[in-house]
Amino acid sequence: MSVLIIPCDRGSSLVEAKNIIRVEGMSNYSKIYFVNRHPMTVAKVLRWFQDNLPQQMFTRVHRSHLVNRLFMLEINGAKSSTLLLKNGESIAMSRRKKLLRLSE
């Protein structure tokens, strides 16, 4: 079990990595989308999450998206690729990241 301590405005929040669907980077902030609760916005850059979440569980599919591999369903499109998640969301994928992910 991998637990992440996320600093937030009310102190710190303990979060299990398996409950994070994806993390979206927004300048100096990141928005964390969870399985069982509302999204949380924190003052951390996406790189911080990439460094602190298990690398075998999370993959960077775009410069602004880090996705939990457990929730990846399929990749759609040839030129403009989108990643379909199990919760129905579609995430834009960079061409370079698409090639890397397909070869893994």
Q: Which of 15, 21, 3, 2 is nearest to 70 (CA)?
A: 21
Query: Does the pLDDT of residue 17 top 80, yes or no?
Result: yes
First to last CA, the chain: 24
Please give the pLDDT value at position 71. Answer: 94
Strand partners, 3: 16
Cα–Cα–Cα angle for 72, 63, 71, rounded to 5 degrees = 10
Mean pLDDT of the chain: 86
DSSP string covering 51-101, please?
A: HHS-TTTEEEEETTEEEEGGGEEEEE-SSS-EEEETTS-EEE--HHHHHHH
Burial 38-53 (b: 16+ CB within 10 A, else e): eebebebebebbeeeb
Express each pLDDT in 24-66 by its tens digit.
Answer: 999 999 999 999 899 999 999 999 999 999 999 999 998 999 9
Pairwise pLDDT comparison (102 vs 27), residue with the higher score: 27
| pTM summary value | 0.85
**What is the model's pLDDT at position 7?**
84
Of 17-31, 53-67, 84-98, least confident by mean pLDDT is 84-98
In this prediction, residue 100 carries a pLDDT of: 46
